[in-house]
Structure 1
Amino acid sequence: MSSATDPKKPDGDSSAPVPAESAKSSGPTDQEKWEFYSAQFMAILLVILVVVGKGFISSGAQLPALCRFIALQCPPSIQKPVIYGGALQGYQEVGQAFGMTFKSGEELGASFAAFVGATMVIHVWSGHQNRSYKDVFTNSTLAPLQSTSHIATNLIVARLVDQGLLDFDERISAYWPEFARGNKEHVLLKDLMSHRAGVAFWDREHALNYEDNLLDSDTVAARIAGQPHNFDGEPVVAFHGVTRDYYLNEIVKRVHPKNYDLRQIMDEEINPLLRSHFQYGTDPTGSVKDTKIATLHGYPADRATVASFFPRVIGDFVLDEPMSRAVGSIRKNTSSVAYKALVESLPTKADADRSLPAVWNQGSVNWNSHVSGFAEARTLSIFGAVMANNGTIGVIKFISAETFSKLIELQEIQNDAVLQLPGRQLGYVAGGFAVTKKWVVEGERWYGNFDLTGTCVFWNPELRLSFSFVTNSMRLGNIGFGDKRIRKIIRSFSEAARVETEKWAKKKAEEDELLEKARQLNREQKKKNKSKNKNKKKGKKVQAEQGDETAAADATAVDADESDAVAAEIAPEAVPETAAETSEAAPEGVSHEPAVTDGPGVASVPSAETRSTAATEPETESETEAGAKSQPPVHQTHDGSEL
């Protein structure tokens, strides 16, 4: 009997479906292969993106592209940067912080200098003048300045105010009647100095162009004097980054006894006086190339694009370096007040490249004595030290204390329409300096000037500190927006100054204690001398009376000559007092006013060579005699008068 066969389970039929277990063992399908290789590719791509992204985000902005991405073609100076210059004891770490910006590739060429009181405590420099990496950035290399050059003009104006030739509270039209046109008749000098004069930018009719004869003062004066008030006469704070010094130059020429302009005053008066090297502009003919001037280089376009493309918070997080609102406004909106004030108002050719920093490297901008300045960090720090010391540095009295007090009068706080900064972060004083208690050291009031590039100079009259940083490489932000380069250096300098100040204060207290002990010893010795002299005088009087009585009793027995001889024998001590006995001077070895070199100020850190130790109380006579021989002379001030 034949059995029925189940058609669903054929026996020995090769065409029957293969069980699932058998299908898996036959190998991966095309879909599975695609998924596998795609996963491998994505993993490799992810690794590459991580490596490249790490280089993009964490590497220095001034490194060459291949060096930033895959560490190839890195300049030797970046791999092993050499820092030149020097620092006093206690400030070496500031130099190390400066050097780290080169090692990380954040810097191309730069210099940093700082003063404590009237003493330069550090001056360091390194890097190159341009990206060819051939021209070394030296201590005499002049860095291109923009708004930081305002410090030079501020000093010139302050000096003219001190001489009575200008007045911060006077209307500008009093010096320059034509300025009153366009609703500007009530603008004061301090309004222009503090960026509230209403001439932050020029409209097309009054803008200066390269085709104009900018060396013709009459042409320039007539053009800019007619500019209407930007804000209909209202005193709005709007950074006059380009225009301010054009107006100040015309004002200065009208009051200077020799009709000097800013450039002439700097060359003939300020630089020789302070032994500085500040240069307004370059050669206007372009016939001479100043090899000491470094080229300003921009921030890498790829990183700037990332910062611009992403929302501000994300861009700042990705790059760990915020973009200043002014720079962002310039990049995105050519009709903004920031663009009009900082780019469109520059005197360039009609078809000029107005992108940053290209516009700043053009000869038409660089040679103009009212827009660009050039200086080394040393010069800027000297300017800052003059202000940090209330207008006087060393033997040089640059301005009086009265003028200085007028100069630092804080003007009305407003948000800056150009820099787009809140007034609580940044203000201005009558003398033209910015003032902040946030940007430099939190809670400390610092004055100064700064660029969008990162270059800056700041000073603190309370602590008598000043510093300057110059660079030829732009960043997305400046000192107010977390520029990592200067932030690191400032923190190091501030900490070093604090530590050294505490050390000096402690040593000064010890010296004062020794001085007080010496004075106390001196007073006690003087008291003993007076008591001794008083007793001697009393003894002499008694002896003299005794001698008189004896002489009177024997007067009948001896003649006058014999009487004198007897009196001398009876009172041998009644002789004229010696100078040593009558003098009220201090004992040998202890000066009446022990001479010690007074410290240079609250925040100064005098070196060991400039200090002298207060006289101490001698223990033995030999020590007293030795002390008298080694006592330092009375300290003299620079004008020769004794303290």
Structure 2
Amino acid sequence: MKYVSTSLNEKYLMDSLVKSKFFTSSALILFTSILVYQYITFGPFAPLQCQLLRIGCLDTEIHGYVAPEFIDVKKAFIKNFENGYEIGSSVAVYYDGNLVVDLQGGYADLEAKRKYDNNTLQPVFSSTKVMSAIMIAYLVDRGFLDYNKKVSTYWPEFAQGNKENVTLLDLVNHRAGLSYLNTKVTKSDLEDLDKFAKTLASQPHSFNGVSSRAYHATTVGWYLNEIVRRVDPKHRTIGKIISDEILEQYDLEFYLLLPPNFISRVAKLYEISKIRGIFDMFNVFFEWWIGMIPNSYFSEFNDKESVMYKTFQPSGPFKISDFSDLETLTVEWPSVNGITNAKSMAKLGAIIVNNGQPINSVTYKPLISKSTIDLMSTKLPETFDHVLYKNITPASGGFAYLRYPGIEDVEFIGWGGYGGSSFIWNRELGISFGYAMNGLLPPKYGKTGDLRLWSVLKEVVNVAKKLKKEQA
């Protein structure tokens, strides 16, 4: 399968121009306009000559399994590659506890021509927060934690800097006033958690103790990790509990502590070019000009004293490009450095949809009880997020209720990660969905995910609705 080729009209025009003795100014303008249009409308991860002229495009293999009823999901997945929006990715879907989609395609390492297959592992950035939130629910279910308890109940030193009334519910839902740290975190901090705990505890509440939502993009996992270390009888981190009690028992791969010998399985990450980034900036200004982005967003973004500005400043020791390196992936950071694949995310979501009961696992022990799943799924009032600068509808367990273009009538629970990954489920339709990729598209204001996710998920929902209607 190849990316789409040049249309006949475009090919005729280019042949005519090439054969002519010289370009007239109008022809040159027209030709340049066509190239610019093709460049900005075609996906950013195809080779440049493919983006401009539709030649020299990549051959891309798609492999895996799809149930016959869900064949349109595969077609949408393939189209994302054909249109230049993917380098390598995987998508997986469980429906009513059955694996109905498990597809991979493209390259885990484009330069080395290493295939993206069912052995590939992928950094999923903030989709990691879904796994961390599930593990907090896991400990709530076992009586070690209570969402309504103050954090200081488990961590007395936390009660300083106007944080004495912050509850676990506040923290998991990004209402703890801790979306940034006043000091930059180093790798040695993450390797000495006792010392790091003092830094975390000393951070003052950024809203003077008033509960206000501000996305704790990098920090929430650090705080949750310290709480978990204090309540776990063995004083383990979230990642260690996952490794000890979750992965093998439920046949999953989701590492917060990647085994060093697995580094060769991790996909290389690719960001869009700087030129593409410039075009994206023009698009942002256009959305502002037509009123899609409020003026106040830019003032907050550029105000060095604003919570948004401080949150977006790099606080951790690693850059995006580091998230394929062993040094980064073997240091636990429960907000952002989870390593997994689409199937494991979808399967874990399927266990939640299945009221905590295992699916094709070596254990019969429920992961979480139905009552705790109901509790963690409880919808909280919609609230404005001072960092994401949009309204969010949280779920008590630290997830969010999400709607996507084209399927606005369906709500999913979960979250996504930088670049486009997604870890979501819908209990009513019996859907759980995982998507992971190594071509990173920058997030867009007010949007969750991007067109790759939306197009595939729309087909999943369409089929699920049809099947539910037939079963009724």
CA distance, structure 1, for counterparts of residue 160 and residue 140 of structure 2:
25
Indicate yes or no: 2:168 matched with 1:168: no
User: Offset at 1:464?
Assistant: 1.8
The 1:224/1:66 distance shift into structure 2, 3 A limit, reads: same
CA distance, structure 1, for counterparts of residue 448 and residue 295 of structure 2:
9
Q: Report the counterpart of residue 530 of structure 1 in structure 2.
A: none
Indicate yes or no: 2:407 matched with 1:441: yes
Match of 1:296 among 266, 269, 274: 269
The 1:306/1:185 distance shift into structure 2, 3 A limit, reads: same
User: Offset at 1:484?
Assistant: 1.2
User: Offset at 1:130?
Assistant: 3.0
User: Offset at 1:448?
Assistant: 0.6
Q: Assess if the C-alpha contact under 8 Å between 1:326 and 1:419 holds in 2.
A: no
Match of 1:241 among 193, 217, 230: 217
Q: What one-letter code is carried by the residue in structure 2 that aligns with 1:435? A: Y
Match of 2:53 among 67, 70, 76: 70
Q: Report the counterpart of residue 251 of structure 2 in structure 1.
A: 275
CA distance, structure 1, for counterparts of residue 30 and residue 149 of structure 2:
66
Aligned CA-pair RMSD:
2.9
Q: Report the counterpart of residue 331 of structure 2 in structure 1.
A: 368
Equivalences for 1:125-524 in 2 at 5 Å?
Answer: 125-132=104-111, 134-204=113-183, 207-210=184-187, 212-282=188-258, 290-309=263-282, 312-313=285-286, 337-348=307-318, 357-358=320-321, 360=323, 365-370=328-333, 371-394=336-359, 395-421=364-390, 423=391, 426-437=392-403, 441-477=407-443, 480-481=447-448, 483-505=450-472
Normalised by the length of structure 2, the TM-score is 0.86
- SS of the residue 1:457 aligns to: strand
User: Offset at 1:477?
Assistant: 2.7
CA distance, structure 1, for counterparts of residue 331 and residue 288 of structure 2:
36
CA distance, structure 2, for counterparts of residue 462 and residue 403 of structure 1:
17
Q: Assess if the C-alpha contact under 8 Å between 1:118 and 1:393 holds in 2.
A: no
Q: Report the counterpart of residue 3 of structure 1 in structure 2.
A: none
The 1:226/1:338 distance shift into structure 2, 3 A limit, reads: same
Q: Assess if the C-alpha contact under 8 Å between 2:64 and 2:104 holds in 1.
A: yes
User: Offset at 1:324?
Assistant: 13
Match of 2:35 among 49, 52, 76: 52
Indicate yes or no: 2:43 matched with 1:43: no
- SS of the residue 1:480 aligns to: coil
Q: Deviations over 1:458-495 (max 9, x none)?
A: 11112221111111111133693561111110111111
CA distance, structure 2, for counterparts of residue 299 and residue 52 of structure 1:
18
CA distance, structure 2, for counterparts of residue 326 and residue 152 of structure 1:
33
CA distance, structure 2, for counterparts of residue 300 and residue 84 of structure 1:
28
- SS of the residue 2:248 aligns to: helix
Q: What one-letter code is carried by the residue in structure 1 that aligns with 2:265? A: K
Q: What one-letter code is carried by the residue in structure 2 that aligns with 1:341? A: T
Indicate yes or no: 2:67 matched with 1:88: yes
The 1:226/1:331 distance shift into structure 2, 3 A limit, reads: closer
The 1:278/1:213 distance shift into structure 2, 3 A limit, reads: same
User: Offset at 1:68?
Assistant: 1.3
The 1:220/1:358 distance shift into structure 2, 3 A limit, reads: same
CA distance, structure 2, for counterparts of residue 452 and residue 326 of structure 1:
23
Moved more, 212-221 or 250-259: 212-221
User: Offset at 1:134?
Assistant: 1.1
Q: Report the counterpart of residue 117 of structure 1 in structure 2.
A: 96
- SS of the residue 1:290 aligns to: helix
Q: Assess if the C-alpha contact under 8 Å between 1:307 and 1:323 holds in 2.
A: no
Equivalences for 1:471-620 in 2 at 5 Å?
Answer: 471-477=437-443, 480-481=447-448, 483-505=450-472
Q: What one-letter code is carried by the residue in structure 1 that aligns with 2:267? A: A
User: Offset at 1:362?
Assistant: 6.3
Gap runs ≥5 in structure 2? 1-21
User: Offset at 1:199?
Assistant: 0.7
Q: Assess if the C-alpha contact under 8 Å between 1:151 and 1:383 holds in 2.
A: no
CA distance, structure 1, for counterparts of residue 432 and residue 95 of structure 2:
7
User: Offset at 1:193?
Assistant: 0.7
Moved more, 254-263 or 93-102: 254-263
The 1:131/1:301 distance shift into structure 2, 3 A limit, reads: farther
- SS of the residue 2:440 aligns to: coil
Q: Assess if the C-alpha contact under 8 Å between 1:307 and 1:316 holds in 2.
A: no
Q: Assess if the C-alpha contact under 8 Å between 1:208 and 1:223 holds in 2.
A: no
Q: Assess if the C-alpha contact under 8 Å between 2:179 and 2:214 holds in 1.
A: yes
Q: Assess if the C-alpha contact under 8 Å between 1:324 and 1:476 holds in 2.
A: no
Q: Report the counterpart of residue 514 of structure 1 in structure 2.
A: none
CA distance, structure 2, for counterparts of residue 465 and residue 323 of structure 1:
32
CA distance, structure 2, for counterparts of residue 120 and residue 469 of structure 1:
14
- SS of the residue 1:273 aligns to: coil
Q: What one-letter code is carried by the residue in structure 1 that aligns with 2:310? A: K
CA distance, structure 1, for counterparts of residue 327 and residue 176 of structure 2:
25
CA distance, structure 1, for counterparts of residue 330 and residue 302 of structure 2:
28
Q: Deviations over 1:398-428 (max 9, x none)?
A: 212221222122334221111112x2xx321
CA distance, structure 1, for counterparts of residue 25 and residue 85 of structure 2:
32
User: Offset at 1:301?
Assistant: 1.8
Higher relative contact order (CA 8 A, sep 6+): 2
Q: What one-letter code is carried by the residue in structure 1 that aligns with 2:470? A: K
User: Offset at 1:103?
Assistant: 1.1
CA distance, structure 1, for counterparts of residue 293 and residue 29 of structure 2:
28
Normalised by the length of structure 1, the TM-score is 0.64
CA distance, structure 1, for counterparts of residue 371 and residue 424 of structure 2:
21
Q: Assess if the C-alpha contact under 8 Å between 2:421 and 2:449 holds in 1.
A: no
Q: Deviations over 1:80-106 (max 9, x none)?
A: x32111111201111111011111111
Q: What one-letter code is carried by the residue in structure 1 that aligns with 2:332? A: S
CA distance, structure 1, for counterparts of residue 266 and residue 23 of structure 2:
52
Q: Which has the larger radius of gyration?
A: 1
Q: Assess if the C-alpha contact under 8 Å between 1:239 and 1:416 holds in 2.
A: yes
User: Offset at 1:325?
Assistant: 11
User: Offset at 1:335?
Assistant: 6.6
The 1:118/1:310 distance shift into structure 2, 3 A limit, reads: closer
The 1:256/1:324 distance shift into structure 2, 3 A limit, reads: farther
User: Offset at 1:368?
Assistant: 2.7
User: Offset at 1:59?
Assistant: 1.5
Q: Percent identity?
A: 28
